[in-house]
Structure 1
C-alpha cells in the first residue's frame, strides 16, 4: 500500500534529477527540488491506485499522508522560489494524464507511459534552469533521458505485458536502432550507451522465448541500464 510494486520505478523517475544533481554538484536548492520531486513520485503512484479503485477508502491513507508531506516540503520551496511555478501548467497536464489513465485502468498504456517519461525527463530542465540558469543543457539532458526511457518502456513491454507480440518487439528494435544513430550523431559515449541498450533489447527477448524471464530480473536489469544511462548522459551532455 505504501510502496510501488514496479521494480526499478523509483530510480526510473528520479534518474534525470540525479543526473542534474551531479551536474550542479549537489547544490542545496537542487537537493531540495529533488526531495520534493521524490515526494511527488510517492503521491503519484498512491494517487494512481486510488483513481484506479475509483476512490476506495483503503487506498486513501497513503495518498493523503504523502500529499501532506509533499506539501510541507514543497510549499516553502515555492514561496522562496516562485519561479518554479512556471512549470506548474506542464506538470498539471502530466499528472492529469496519469490519473485519467489510472481511472480508465490504462495506466500501463503507451500514452500514459509517455506522460510519465516526459514528467521525469523535464525535471532536468527544472533543476538546471533554477540553479545554473542553464536551460539549454537541461533540455539536452531531458531529451537524452526521454529517448532512453521510452525505449526502456517499449523493451519492458516486450518482456512482460506485451510478451510475444511482434508489433511491440518491432517497435522496440526500431526505436533502439534509431537511438544508436542519434547517439553516435551526438557523442561516441551516447552511441556506446545506445548500442548496449540495443543489445539488451535484442538478446533478452530472444532468450525469453526458451525460458520466460521473471519481472524482478527484468526490473533489476533496467536498474543497471538506468545507472549506466545516468553516467553516460552526464558525461556526454
Structure 2
C-alpha cells in the first residue's frame, strides 16, 4: 500500500512543474546566444562614443524590438498570431514607447529604418518557409546587430564612419560565431561547414592584422581561430558551447574598448 501512495504523492509535483516552466519561457525566447549578439555591438559602440542619455531608451527599444520580432516571426512561421498576441502587444508597445524619445532627440536614426526593414524581410521570408536556421537568415540577423554600432554613433552625434572599424571587428566576430556554432551543433557532422568555418577564421585574422587594429584585437582573433579549429568534433553540450561564446564576446568587447575607447 505504501508504494502507490508514494507514487501518488510524487505525481502532482511533476504535473505542477510543467506550467511553471511554460510561464517562465512564455515571454522570454529560449535563444540565449541572441543576447550576446544584441548587447555586444551596442555596448562596444557606447563605450567608444561615450554615453548619451538617448542611449538608455535606445537599449530598451533595441531589446524590446528583438523580443517583438521573435514572437512576430514565430507567428509567421506557425500562422497562429493568437498564441503570441500578448507578447506582441507587450513588446510592441514597449518598443514604440522607448524609441519615441530617441527619435525626438535624434531623428537621424530614421535613416536606418529601410535597412532594418530589408533585413527583417529576409527573416520573414525564411520564417514563412520554416527555414529560420538557414545561414543567410543568420547572417541577416548579424547584419541587424552590426547596424546598431552605427545607430549608437548617430545617437551620440558622431559620424558613423568613425565607428566603421568597431563594426568591422564586431561583425567579423559574429559571422565567425554563426559558422562555428553550426559546426558544434546543427552541422557538427558536416565537413564542409568545418572547412568553411576554419577558412573564414583564418581570413578574419589576416584581415584584422592587415587593418592594423592592434595586438589585442589580433590576439582575440587568434583565440577564436583556435577554438574554431580545435573544438568541432568534441561533442560539447550546447550550454558549454554557449559559455565559450560568452567568453569570446567578452574578449572582443574588451579588445575593442581597449583599442578605441
Q: TM-score range by the shorter chain?
A: over 0.9
**Cα separation, 1, equivalents of 2:93 and 2:184:** 37
**Residue 215 of structure 1 aligns with which residue?**
238
1:173 and 2:198 aligned: yes
**Cα separation, 2, equivalents of 1:152 and 1:139:** 20
Q: For residue 28 of structure 2, give the secondary structure of its aligned residue in structure 1.
A: coil
**Cα separation, 2, equivalents of 1:78 and 1:109:** 33
Return the match for 1:224 from 240, 247, 255: 247
Return the match for 2:128 from 94, 98, 103: 103
Aligned Cα root-mean-square deviation (Å):
1.5
Is 2:108–2:154's contact at 8 Å kept on the other side of the alignment? no
- Normalization by structure 1: what TM-score? 0.92
How many matched pairs? 233
Is 2:49–2:158's contact at 8 Å kept on the other side of the alignment? no
Return the match for 2:165 from 140, 145, 163: 140
Return the match for 1:14 from 35, 39, 55: 39
Aligned counterparts, 1:142-157, within 5 A:
142-157=167-182
**Cα separation, 1, equivalents of 2:196 and 2:110:** 36
**Cα separation, 2, equivalents of 1:18 and 1:127:** 9
**Cα separation, 2, equivalents of 1:58 and 1:51:** 11
1:121 and 2:146 aligned: yes
**Cα separation, 2, equivalents of 1:198 and 1:20:** 24
Is 1:122–1:139's contact at 8 Å kept on the other side of the alignment? no
Q: CA deviation digits over 1:109-163, x for unaligned, max 9?
A: 1111111111101111111133142312222211211111000000000000111
Is 1:21–1:31's contact at 8 Å kept on the other side of the alignment? no
Gaps spanning 5+ residues in structure 2: where? 1-25
- Normalization by structure 2: what TM-score? 0.84
Higher-Rg structure is: 2
Q: CA deviation digits over 1:6-49, x for unaligned, max 9?
A: 22211212210011121233321222222211211111212121
**Cα separation, 2, equivalents of 1:53 and 1:68:** 23
Return the match for 1:199 from 208, 226, 235: 226
